[in-house]
A and B are shown apart, each in its own frame.
Chain A
């Protein structure tokens, strides 16, 4: 089964090793693919909320798979059972693998107990996208929000995750914030686990 010398063609995907492989993907290829994804979904829907939801669903599938893969590769098969644990996992490990750097910041919401925010100065998916004025508050970061939602849901922390623009003084482009609002059961369980 082990290839000697030149690379071996594996008969079945199950035989391929699950190792790191190539770390980098071409940015332009990704930007092109993502723009096609957005445009395709645009033709299918009538309103913005539906478009955001579709992008989120696409991200959800990615998030579920990223969680399994990273838990296996990076953490040597240890799961996260605590809220702060899973949040810092997303903020550093997931972000590093997906975007090449850790997220800019992770904050706890001041108004509500169950809200947390991950902020990024320039989200990779939004870098080459400009939103026309008539689309209002639409944010392609919904895709990334979907990824986060996929990770949280499959780890057992159901949450509502959305992406928002936050204008910053002195900067032309607004900062993007991913807002995570956990379901009640998550907080109850956290309290129970102490």
Chain B
């Protein structure tokens, strides 16, 4: 079954530092813009939600037609106007929560390894092609 999925890593001030279309459905140009728009709209909901719980995986925070937004917050998180968070957002139409949670956890590990690099400026775009390959492989495995 073809599935659409759009995965974005967002850092401070809502700047995406990594994005990937990881669904298996054929991609259309205008669909990609719509996905990003939906993800941005979901950001406001995430802010309030992130402070209420200790957990990192916030499950599905928003819906749009038949697409669901799931969010995973890492250790650095949000402060009212000045945003300090790094979050992973996934727009998808699949139903398995566990698969998504495992996907987020594995990507989190990859992200930490990138972050540990002392020459990596936090908040800058992740350009490593190896990282890209691994994320897509994980997406195929879990989604």
Contacts and interface: CB of A to CB of B under 8 A. Distances in A.
Given A64-B76, A156-B84, A185-B80, A77 B51 contact: no
Interface residues of B, number: 34
A14 B110 contact: yes
Interface string A133-171: 000000000000000000001111110000000000000
B76 A65 contact: no
B84 A153 contact: yes
Interface of A is mostly: helix
A131 interface: no
Interface residues of A, number: 28
B128 interface: yes
A122 interface: no
A81 B51 contact: yes
A64 to B, nearest CB: 6
Contact of A65 (B54, B57, B84, B115): B115
Interface string A156-194: 111000000000000000000000000001100100010
A80 interface: yes
Interface in A16-62: 16, 18, 61
Contact of A81 (B53, B82, B113): B53
A68 B112 contact: yes
A16 B57 CA distance: 24
Nearest to A77: B56
Interface of B: 51-57, 73-80, 82, 84-85, 105, 108-110, 112-118, 122, 128, 130-131, 134
Q: Which 10 A-B pairs have the closest CB atoms?
A: A154-B76, A71-B75, A156-B79, A77-B56, A156-B77, A12-B130, A68-B75, A78-B54, A67-B75, A156-B84
